[in-house]
Structure 1
Amino acid sequence: MAVFDLEANNYDKWYDTKMGNFVDKVETKCAFDLFKPFKGMKVLDIGCGTGNFSIRLKELGCEVIGVDISDEMLNVARKKAKEKNLDIDFLNMDIYNLEFDNESFDAVFSMAAFEFIKDTKKAIDEVFRVVKPNGQILVGTINKDSSWGKLYLSEDFQKNSVFKHAEFKTIEDFIGIQSDNLVETKECLFIPPCTEKNNISMEKEEELSKIKEGGFICALWKK
């Protein structure tokens, strides 16, 4: 998607802010509370963007291939991996037509990409095709039914950001897909986007988890 090419060079800057760093921290914890990598695991990172999770998975000992539909995002990912001397293949590929044989991967991992995938069932069915029996499939995405979902659906974001191309999901949207293989779902990011800097903390996150919808959801399947 060409719109992401325009975002590529500035995409990672948000993670340098206090909120961006916090969001990354809690989303990463949420994902790895569910997804259990092991050394030598062959992982396909779908919607890898600038390679943040591809790099983390590689550093955990996985063999990683990252795919995305933005050439510029992939170029940034390649540069970052090269700077860290990490051998990761980054390929331009569509989730609906993964150019891999059946049962090619031990696991599929996808964070913050399903917001931009229209046909969730078709995508997950294709993911299941390329995963080996007993393989893990982890999807993390913005929760439509949260303060973060409402922000990205607001008029300003719908007019002036890439989120005008998004189709946000809820946990219920995932529960009905490959339901016999669904292992667990989990929420995080209970802190709303309007939180002041001095209130951004894990303590506040824990407090709000008892009364708020999580802004980010993760789902884990096992084939």
Structure 2
Amino acid sequence: MPATAPLAASYARWRTSPLGAITERVEKRVVFEMAGPLRGRRVLDVGTGDGTYAIEAARHAATVVGLDSDPVMLAAARSRVQSANVALTLREGHAEALPFDDGAFDVVLAVTVLCFVPDATAVVREMARVLVPGGHLVLGELNRFSVWAAQRRMRGWLGSNMWRRARFWSLADLKRLAREAELQVNDVRGSVFFPPSDVAARFMAPFEPTLTRLRAPGAAFLALAAHKAALPP
């Protein structure tokens, strides 16, 4: 069995758990609010995994490409795309060398991708390269200063290969990566103001939009929106 098959199964189990379902819902809300209207836009979902964000973008009437380096995860994504009855393209490739022309996309999404790549600077520069002038990038990452990140670090220390190699980010880190790629930061937001607990998630979920709007401290999930400078007229 491929080593990543258990990972695809764990994604599915997480999504169907009460905590996973609530967490995914509040994270998606923030990401797609920051992405803006997607109808008719060309969207690239980098590190698509089993297709969660690519499928949601397709539901927003975008022309979507989901890219991942893992063929097992792409197989899981194809199954989910078929079940969701949406149209999108899935491609195998690496975030460090995106197999697309310059300016190929209007919007690029990358959610919990930078935590697993060896060179985040190169990845963000690649995402900036494939953006059309005036296009938007949305990054979503786990806040390094959170109980969630601490829990995952502990899992890494206890033997999880995935979390042992993960790197978590702060808002200052994400802003720096965007600026190094010559992108202009538009907005930063947080979500997931609850600890990794079913009870806390159910209680806090109704307050999430307000806490995000007020930029309350303590968010476990950080999202950044940036844009590529438009060409002069």
Q: What code does the residue aligned with 1:184 have?
A: D
Q: Hey, what does 1:187 align to over in structure 2? A: 190
Give the distance between the partners of 1:109 and 1:48, measured in 2 at CA: 9
Give a deviation string over 1:19-64, Cα, whole Å, max 9, x none.
1111011101111221113211000100100011111100110000
Q: Hey, what does 2:11 align to over in structure 1? A: 11
SS at match of 2:174: helix
Within a 5 Å distance, the mapping from 1:133-172 to structure 2 comes to: 133-155=133-155, 159-160=159-160, 162-172=162-172
Q: What code does the residue aligned with 1:68 have?
A: D
Q: What code does the residue aligned with 2:222 have?
A: I
TM-score by length of 1: 0.90
Give the distance between the partners of 1:61 and 1:204, measured in 2 at CA: 28
Within a 5 Å distance, the mapping from 1:1-223 to structure 2 comes to: 3-155=3-155, 159-160=159-160, 162-179=162-179, 181-194=184-197, 196=199, 200-203=203-206, 205=208, 212-223=217-228
CA positional deviation for 1:163: 1.1
Change (3 A) 1:174 1:134: same
Give the distance between the partners of 1:94 and 1:76, measured in 2 at CA: 18
CA positional deviation for 1:161: 5.1
Give the distance between the partners of 1:210 and 1:63, measured in 2 at CA: 31
Q: What code does the residue aligned with 2:14 have?
A: W
Change (3 A) 1:8 1:189: same
Change (3 A) 1:81 1:194: closer
Q: What code does the residue aligned with 2:189 have?
A: K
Give a deviation string over 1:48-94, Cα, whole Å, max 9, x none.
00011111100110000100111111001111112333221111111
Change (3 A) 1:4 1:139: farther
Give the distance between the partners of 2:45 and 2:136, measured in 1 at CA: 12
Change (3 A) 1:155 1:46: closer
Number of residue pairs aligned between Structure 1 and Structure 2 = 222
Change (3 A) 1:157 1:81: farther
SS at match of 2:4: helix
SS at match of 1:176: helix
Give a deviation string over 1:176-222, Cα, whole Å, max 9, x none.
23335111111111101146368533246567988742110001111
Q: What code does the residue aligned with 2:219 have?
A: G
Change (3 A) 1:202 1:11: closer
Q: 5+ residue gaps in structure 2?
A: 229-233
TM-score by length of 2: 0.86
Q: Percent identity?
A: 23
Q: Hey, what does 2:231 align to over in structure 1? A: none
CA positional deviation for 1:116: 0.6
8 Å Cα contact 1:151-1:157 kept in structure 2:
no
SS at match of 2:9: helix
